Homo-oligomer: A and B are copies of this chain.
């Protein structure tokens, strides 16, 4: 069921009661303590993709809950059940932490969503510092999860705390939903949101997500994200690894097969070869083209930051469009083959290729799953290999898109103006925040993405960092944003 709402918006400029400078000053005075909190959180290896780290992830959720409890929030740890592993075993999912600050029915209620799980990281991957020991170099705080998403979650908590410490009323009621499975597809969260749609979420007016970054040094508001379908293609041959000297030439090797099918996914220039994928993509409108054309984006800077001699597209609109609103295939790696330094003369017996396809309007993960599975099986059948292929889609997250003229975004513009004295960029995100789409579909609430991460934070890669500047000014932005949201006046006609 869809409810049509007509919005009437009135922004009351510079509400007198709001003492921004006092709050900003308080935030300034607490900088070192904020960094210390981040250090404590980064030290917990809350890697949700590695089940061996699950106890640390459970611990991480406890630490979040305890911090919110100490602030006298109404905190709950919601059991969201179990996760089934590929081998059929089950393992407990990390609990979702919910919290509520303020319960004034005359105020708007915002719900801040964040996550405290992280991507895998090992020093050997090429980190210059221990990824779980927050290290400050030239104003950047290096550590896995620093920007994605621990510092933004802490900044939101500290924004609420600032009002408390100064004995100021919160301008809006603030709820939190903090999860621990975002990096692997927010397993269990959809069901939890659905289950609490008419309880926890019933009085929520707006949902705020700060799980992304700016496009340049200019603050930005994000109005769209790509989804992601993550696939495992497992090829199984001999019952165990074989010596390539002793057995090479007598068996069809699973690695040959897996390389062969992976090579049919994309052309050398990056064109997706799976039938049906490109056909589903919404065409680029003239308005979009114009909007991209107007965005402040330095191609040369982007190229240098990545460190490549040539990008996939040489003009700004094509590049931004392929980053934000076209699908792409990335091959992440192969599990089960020899991946260590040195030489090993092995024929791996079972190898699992991992690749993902970013989703954009109007692609449908269920459809993509079928397209990819059918295609790979047909390609594999042509090889006439005696080995066995199994294709699984382990993540299927939809894209999300918002209206840029929504009052939430007007409030964002005002808050950015107050803190940075700048107009924000309106941008999309190539990455996936799957839960945005679920919030939209299940609760029907409006959503804003309000990033504070830097454009070069290295999410998911080595040497992830959060700038001290972004962390502290970002906390001020959240402080100011809560006040701006309080000014929104909507009437339902």
Contacts and interface: CB of A to CB of B under 8 A. Distances in A.
Interface in A297-353: 302, 306-313, 319, 322-323, 326-349
Pick the most buried of A50, A247, A260, A335: most chain B CB atoms within 10 A of its CB: A247
A1 interface: no
- Is chain A's interface secondary structure helix, strand, loop, or mixed overall? loop
B332 A346 contact: yes
Contact of A343 (B239, B336, B354): B354
A259 B267 CA distance: 11
A335 B339 contact: yes
A430 interface: yes
Contacts of A330: 244, 248, 253, 255, 345-347
Number of copies: 2
A330 B337 CA distance: 11
A16 interface: no
A460 interface: yes
Interface stretch (A65-73, A163-171, A370-378, A382-390): A382-390
A38 to B, nearest CB: 20
Contacts of A347: 330, 332
A307 B239 contact: yes
B342 A430 contact: no
Given A252-B270, A311-B251, A429 B245 contact: yes
A342 B184 contact: yes
A125 interface: yes
Contacts of A183: 343
A346 to B, nearest CB: 6
Nearest to A226: B245
Contacts of A252: 268-270, 308, 310, 312
Contacts of A125: 241
Pick the most buried of A241, A242, A250, A307: most chain B CB atoms within 10 A of its CB: A250
A237 B311 CA distance: 10
A395 interface: yes
A467 interface: no
A241 B462 contact: yes
A249 interface: yes
Given A119-B344, A244-B358, A333 B328 contact: no
Interface residues of A, number: 100
A337 B330 CA distance: 11
Nearest to A348: B333
A460 B333 contact: no
A93 to B, nearest CB: 14
Interface in A243-286: 243-253, 255-257, 259-260, 262-263, 266, 268-270
B460 A346 contact: yes
Given A230-B345, A308-B237, A460-B241, A249 B358 contact: yes
A169 to B, nearest CB: 38
B339 A333 contact: yes
Given A310-B386, A340-B50, A356 B244 contact: yes
24 contacts: A51-B342, A240-B458, A247-B323, A249-B270, A250-B322, A250-B323, A251-B312, A252-B268, A252-B270, A253-B270, A256-B270, A268-B382, A268-B385, A330-B347, A332-B347, A332-B348, A333-B337, A333-B346, A335-B338, A335-B339, A335-B341, A336-B339, A337-B339, A345-B460
Given A256-B270, A344-B460, 11 more contacts: A49-B344, A50-B342, A51-B342, A240-B458, A241-B462, A246-B430, A247-B430, A268-B383, A309-B386, A336-B339, A343-B395
